[in-house]
Amino acid sequence: MLSTFVHTIYQVFLPISLPVIGGALIKRFKKIETKPLSTLSLYLLSPALIFETLMHADISSGDVTQTVLFTVLNMLLLWGLAAGLGKMLSLPAAERSGLTLVALFTNCVNYGLPLVLLAFGQAGMDKASVYVILQIIIVNTIGVYFAARSHFSMRQAALSIFKLPSVYAAVLAVILRSGGITLPEGLEQGVSMVSGAYSSVALFILGAQMVSVNVGGGAKAIYTATSQKAFYAGMSLRLILSPLASLLLLFILGVEGTLFNVILILSSMPAAVNAVILAEQFDAAPKIVTRCILWTTLASFILLPLMIGWLS
């Protein structure tokens, strides 16, 4: 087990750590703004990656069906766990909404896709592409609605789909693939060059964002009993309950092989940075969400290698 853990660290997490550390150092000493890079990733690199992967992915209709079922059921299960835990701990409404954001929003794009590619190769990336695009659509619509029902109508949730560039890339890839249409060689090479830049830029952004996370608010932080309960509940949800819930669902749905491995890893990723953006927008305990993002990300560098080693 120890040798497998060390091997996974060396083969998977060492390559990932280099752009993450680079992003953190440049953010720390050069004060670089990540917003332009995030825009580049969101509107160009990520859609190119999704498009290229779906055009050539070796996936079956059964894989797609199982992925859709898992994504929907897992979101409902995590939402129920977050709501139940918040009620059991008698958390205020804001903390319960923050707990929902931590439970539902995982860093399966910036962190998860490069990790899957290194851990499971192109076969893993093919399976991951379907899960990621579904996660983007469902969590950013229904998930946001669950977390902030007092600020967000179901109509607004549905309309927000059309603001996600990767959705258009996925639809275009499905249409072209269904029609047996291939891109001209020069255009396909251009798309491949753009998508090839995704992993490094995404991990660089992740490192820079981790430095930007302000846990203490500038002064020495004072945590109330309520905030501490909410923080530990969020950590437990993301690091323990979420992987266990995913494991249970995957067994129930009969998912096997590479698809099992990929979905389990992606659904066990740490909380995503965009969760704190929504927490600030909807007043859903942003300081607690921020702490959960930082500490679940740091913990993932130990827990995920153990999971990958176990799956191997």
| Higher per-residue confidence, 76 vs 7 | 76
Say what the pTM is. 0.83
Q: pLDDT value at position 246?
A: 96
Read off φ and ψ for residue 213, nearest 5 degrees. -65, 120
Q: pLDDT value at position 160?
A: 66
The domain tally of the chain equals 1
Tell me the average pLDDT across 153-160. Answer: 66
What's the one-letter identity of residue 254? G
- Residues written for the chain: 312
For the chain, percent of residues with pLDDT exceeding 90: 40
DSSP-assigned beta bridge partners for residue 106: 271
Show the DSSP H helices in the chain as ranges: 2-8, 14-30, 35-40, 46-56, 61-88, 93-104, 113-138, 144-147, 154-159, 165-178, 185-196, 198-212, 225-236, 242-253, 257-267, 274-281, 286-311
pLDDT at 74 exceeding the cut of 80? yes
| Higher per-residue confidence, 277 vs 221 | 277
157 — pLDDT class (breaks 50, 70, 90): low
Mean model confidence pLDDT for the chain? 86
Q: How far apart are CA 113 and CA 296, in angstroms?
A: 17
| Higher per-residue confidence, 274 vs 61 | 61
Tell me the average pLDDT across 163-183. Answer: 89
Q: Which of 2-16, 138-152, 231-245 has the lowest mean pLDDT?
A: 138-152
| 311: Cβ contacts below 8 Å, ≥ 6 apart | 261, 264, 265
- Can you read off the two tokens belonging to residue 43? 């509107």
263-275 per-position pLDDT tens digit: 999 999 999 877 8
Q: pLDDT value at position 202?
A: 84
Q: What is the CATH number of the domain that holds 183?
A: 1.20.1530.20
- Can you read off the two tokens belonging to residue 202? 């995404």
**Residue in 112, 110, 140 with CA at minimum distance from that of residue 125:** 112
Q: pLDDT value at position 192?
A: 93
Tell me the average pLDDT across 49-62. Answer: 88
Tell me the average pLDDT across 48-62. Answer: 88
pLDDT at 255 exceeding the cut of 60? yes
Q: pLDDT value at position 60?
A: 86
Tell me the average pLDDT across 118-144. Answer: 83
195-199 long-range CB contacts below 8 Å, 24 or more apart? 195/45, 195/48, 195/49, 195/51, 195/52, 195/53, 197/45, 198/41, 198/45, 198/46, 198/48, 198/49, 198/113, 198/114, 199/19, 199/113, 199/114, 199/117
Q: pLDDT value at position 173?
A: 92
Range of the domain at 165: 2-311
CB 126 within 8 A of CB 59: yes
What's the one-letter identity of residue 207? G
Instruction: Count the Cβ atoms, other than its own, within 10 Å of residue 310.
Output: 13
pLDDT at 4 exceeding the cut of 80? no
